[in-house]
Amino acid sequence: MKIVIAGLGLIGGSMAKALQRKGYVADGFDMPAVAGEAVRCGAIGRAVASFDGYDVVFVALPPDAAMQFIGGNRFKDGAIVADICGVKGVLESFVFSRPRNFRYVGCHPMAGKEVSGFASSCADLFDGASVIVTENDRTDGAAVQALVSLLTEMGFARVVRCSAAYHDKKIAYTSQLAHIVSNAYVKSETANGYAGFTGGSFQDMTRIAGVDETVWTRLYFLNRENIAAELERLIGELERYARALRAEDEEGLEGLLREGRLRKQALDAQS
C-alpha cells in the first residue's frame, strides 16, 4: 500500500511517524524545509509533488488549502483520499459537487497539542485517542474499512462514524466553543497578576486560549451557524447565573449549580 501525506505539521507529521512505527513508509508533501526535515529524521520516505501513484492520500491541511489540494491534483483511480480537517460539511460538499475518480472519506483525529508544526509531531500522539470518520450514502464502504484499519494501526483506540453534519454540530460544542470561551476568558483585566491565586482552575480554563487566529478564524467561520447557536445557548445560561447573583437570589443560584452538577454526573455516566 502506497501512502502519501500532504501537510506535515503536528497532525500530518504525527501520522507519518505513527505509520513509520508500524512499518509503513509514507511519502510526504510540504514546504521544502519541512519535507526535507521529515525525510532526514525518517518520518517519510521522500518528498513528492505528484499524487497519482498512491493508494491512500491523507490531506492534513487547513480546510481551504485542503479543498484546493483535492481539486487541483490528479489521483489514482479508486484511491482513498481522506482529509483530517476540523470541519467536515464544507469538505464533503466540495468533493461530492462533481464526479471524482477517487474514494473520499472525511476523518478528524481527536488529538493535538497547544503547539504546532512538524517539530512538535510525535509517533504516539494518537495512542488511545478517538478519531471521527464521516460518511454518507455516497461513501465507499470498503474505503472506510481500509481507512479505519490504518487509523487503528496509528494508535487510535476509538473510531466514531457519523455524518458530516452531525460531526460539525458536535465539534462546535466540544472543541470550537471551548476554544472561544477560553480565549474570551483571558481578556479580563482581573487576570493580571494571577500568580499565587490559582489552584488549577485558571490553568484549566486558559490552556487553549492561545489559538492561532490565522487558522482558527477560518475554521470557525466555516462552521459559524453551529458555533453561533452554541455561543447563544451558553450566553443564555450565563445570564441566568448573573441574574441570580444580582438579585441576591441564593436559593436560585444553588438550584443552577445543582442543575450543572447533576448534568455533569449524567454526562460522566455516558462516557
**Each residue of 94-142: pLDDT tens digit?**
999 999 999 999 999 998 777 789 999 999 999 999 999 999 999 999 9
* Boundary (domain end) residue, out of 162, 193, 226: 162
83 and 204, same domain (yes or no): no
Question: Does 234 share its domain with 147?
Answer: no
Q: What is the mean pLDDT of residues 56-84?
A: 97
Q: 105 and 200: one domain?
A: no
The reply to whether 24 and 98 lie within a common domain is yes
Query: What pLDDT digit, counting tens, does each position of 145-163 carry?
Result: 999 999 999 999 999 999 9
**Domain boundary at 162, 177, 204, which?**
162
* 173 and 138 both lie in a single domain: no
Q: Which of 140, 162, 184 is the last residue of a domain?
A: 162
Range of the domain at 8: 3-162
Q: What is the 3-state secondary structure (H, E, C) of the chain?
A: CCEEEECCCHHHHHHHHHHHHCCCCCEEECCHHHHHHHHHCCCCCCECCCCCCCCEEEECCCHHHHHHHHHHCCCCCCCEEEECCCCCHHHHHHHCCCCCCCEEEEEEEECCCCCCCHHHCCCCCCCCCEEEEECCCCCCHHHHHHHHHHHHHHCCCEEEEECHHHHHHHHHHHHHHHHHHHHHHCCCHHHCCCCCCCCCHHHHHHCCCCCCHHHHHHHHHHCHHHHHHHHHHHHHHHHHHHHHHHCCCHHHHHHHHHHHHHHHHHHHHHC
Q: Say whether pTM exceeds 0.75.
A: yes
**Residues 181 and 242 occupy one common structural domain:** yes
Nearest-5° angle of CA 103, CA 127, CA 266?
95
pLDDT digits (tens, 9 = 90+) for 246-264: 999 999 999 999 999 999 9
Q: Do residue 99 and residue 184 come from a single domain?
A: no
User: What's the rounded Cα separation, in Å, for the pair 30 and 235?
Assistant: 41
CATH of the domain at 134: 3.40.50.720
